[in-house]
Structure formats: structure tokens, C-alpha cells
Amino acid sequence: MLLPYLEKGRIECGVDEAGRGCLAGPVFAAAVILPESFSNELLTDSKPLTERQRYALRPIIEAEAVAYAVGVVFPDEIDKINILNASFLAMTRAIEALNVKPEHLLIDGNRFKSKLLIPFTTIVKGDGKMMSIAAASVLAKTYRDDYMNKIAEEYPQYDWLENKGYPTAKHRDAIAQHGITPYHRLTFKGVKEYNPNPTEISLF
């Protein structure tokens, strides 16, 4: 069972990202403040969710959350500041977009850096431990999937409908055969080797 909060009576916000390990597309993050009374069998079970379950949960989370928001960092920014910093930036943007200010952040993972002056706790595999992080994971994943499905129409040969930009064999083969797109991350291994203008980016 997932925990509803770390400290009762405190406005806690769960934060998670999606798309960090992808070769293409942005990194998305979501921030979610749930009421302490929130309960949903699918979400509280801590079992991995299917795509259909995530999309079924999204409108429920959005309807019942005290506040939620999504932040995005696109590939050009990722290439400039690296994916770790881009993940932190996407999380920061999501938190800043909330219409309720949280008193404490629950961050999925073991590191977080931000300009925000809000206390936080990092929780490894937090989406399997805290309800608000699990809710944030659902929003980040589904909103990113929506984006990848849309750009897949523009570049169907990369199989983004299925791989969502992750480095599958089919995706790697498509890069080798067709080259890269404006949606690819030019500093990533498996992409940078095919960049026709490597001097235009700074590698980390």
C-alpha cells in the first residue's frame, strides 16, 4: 500500500518525471498535491500500471487533486544543460505552475536541485511508496505519451507510437537508416554519431 503522506497536516506535493532515458522527445515532469483522504485502488496498490490504467487514472487524479501541473523541457534545452539538470528543471517548472504552494516536496529519486526555496525529501522508487508521487508519475507519463504519439504522425518510421522515444532496437535502426530528426537529443549516445553538424552543440 502506498502512503498518503509523510507528515499529516502538511501540504505535500509529489513530483516525478518521464522520458529521462529517451533518445527523442522532451522530458516531462508533473507535480501533484492530493487531499489526505484520496484513495484509489489502482493507484494505492503499488503494482506497475498498464498504459490503459494510467489513462483511466489521469482524469480521476486531475478531478480530485488539490492542485496539479506539468512541466516540460525540450531537446534543445536538454542538450545545453544535460538530462539530469533538465529533469530538475522540468520538475521545477511543474512545481512553479501549481496554483497552491506546497509546504514540502516529495521527489522521486535520490537527487534534486532547484532554485525553489521549498523543503524536500527525495525518495528512491517513490512512485511505489508515496501516493502523490505515483499520481505525478501517471500525469508525467501520460502527457509525455500524448506528445510522442502526436509527433509519431510526423515521423512514423521511428516507431514512437510504441517506443515513445526510448532506445529500442527498432528506434536505433531507424536512426541509422533515416538519420535524426529535430526531436532527437543531439548529445545522447546513439544520436550524436548521426548529427551532421556536431560543432553546433556542446557535449557534456
- Average pLDDT of the chain is 94
For the chain, domain boundaries: 12-152, 156-196
C-alpha cell at 62: 486531475
Q: Residue 197: its pLDDT value, please?
A: 79
Mind listing the pLDDT tens digit for each residue in 15-68?
Answer: 999 999 999 999 999 999 999 999 998 887 667 899 999 999 999 999 999 999
pTM equals 0.95
| The pLDDT of residue 204 is above 50 | no
Q: Would the CA dihedral through 21, 120, 106, 95 be positive or negative?
A: negative
What is the Cα–Cα distance from 117 to 54, expressed in whole angstroms?
31
C-alpha cell at 2: 502506498
Q: Using an 8 Å Cβ cutoff, are 192 and 186 in contact?
A: yes
Mind listing the pLDDT tens digit for each residue in 81-100?
Answer: 999 999 999 999 999 999 99
What is the Cα–Cα distance from 160 to 146, expressed in whole angstroms?
11
User: What SS3 state is found at 20?
Assistant: coil
Q: Using an 8 Å Cβ cutoff, are 131 and 4 in contact?
A: yes
What is the Cα–Cα distance from 108 to 22, expressed in whole angstroms?
18
Q: Using an 8 Å Cβ cutoff, are 113 and 122 in contact?
A: no
Q: Residue 45: its pLDDT value, please?
A: 66
| The pLDDT of residue 118 is above 60 | yes
Q: Which fold has domain 12-152?
A: Nucleotidyltransferase; domain 5 (3.30.420)
| The pLDDT of residue 203 is above 60 | no
pLDDT above 70 covers what percent of the chain? Answer: 96
